[in-house]
Amino acid sequence: MDSRSGKYYMDGIDLWNAYGFIVTSGIDDFLKFPERKESITHDWLDRDGIDVDLTETFLREKDISLNIALIANNEADFWDKYEKFLNHLRRPGTRRLEVSHLARSFFVFYKNCSSFTTLTTIRNESKVACRFTLVFTEKEPSINTTNVYLNDENGRFIIT
């Protein structure tokens, strides 16, 4: 098994094996605390300070920026991986992004590609490499995302 595989999965698909993706940085964004939403407040004219309702705390969505390197064997492989991943991002709903060394899944949706740099010429090169930054939004950062796997009676994983 390649040492680059088994680290990041999107909807159960290994990002290295399927798309030639290596996440080079940005993993800390998963652990960054989300911003707190404002609580209901009232400023009484006959009291000092403010009255703040702190009975519940709600969190805002948070953005996760992943710096990624894509490595393809040739021009055809590059376009195949590029188009397959773009189609994967366009699917309805959220994407389940698993980070193996955090032992967690995060439910995100694609927001944008904030940068893209080709490191080799796409045409007439034996290997094609580029780097880019994908920005995902975790719409409910407080959700419990413990991995749960369904197995059939033979112990095989059930993919839904």
CA-to-CA distance for 9 and 147, rounded, in angstroms? 12
Q: Please write the tens of the pLDDT for every residue from 11-53.
A: 999 999 999 999 999 999 999 999 999 999 999 999 999 999 9
| Residue 76, domain member (yes or no) | yes
| Residue 75, domain member (yes or no) | yes
* pLDDT of amino acid 1: 53
pTM for the predicted model, two decimal places: 0.78
141 contact partners, CB below 8 Å, separation of at least 6: 34, 59, 60, 61, 62
* pLDDT of amino acid 123: 66
| Residue 3, domain member (yes or no) | no
| Residue 61, domain member (yes or no) | yes
Total domains in the fold of the chain = 1
| Residue 155, domain member (yes or no) | no
| Residue 80, domain member (yes or no) | yes
* pLDDT of amino acid 23: 94
| Residue 152, domain member (yes or no) | no
Residue linked to tokens 């698909």: 13
The boundaries of the domain holding residue 27 are 8-35+54-138
CATH code, domain with 87? 2.40.30.200
| Residue 116, domain member (yes or no) | yes
Q: Please write the tens of the pLDDT for every residue from 85-139.
A: 999 999 999 999 999 989 999 999 999 999 999 877 766 667 889 999 999 999 9
Residue 33, CA distances (Å) to 38, 71, 92, 110 in order: 15, 32, 27, 19
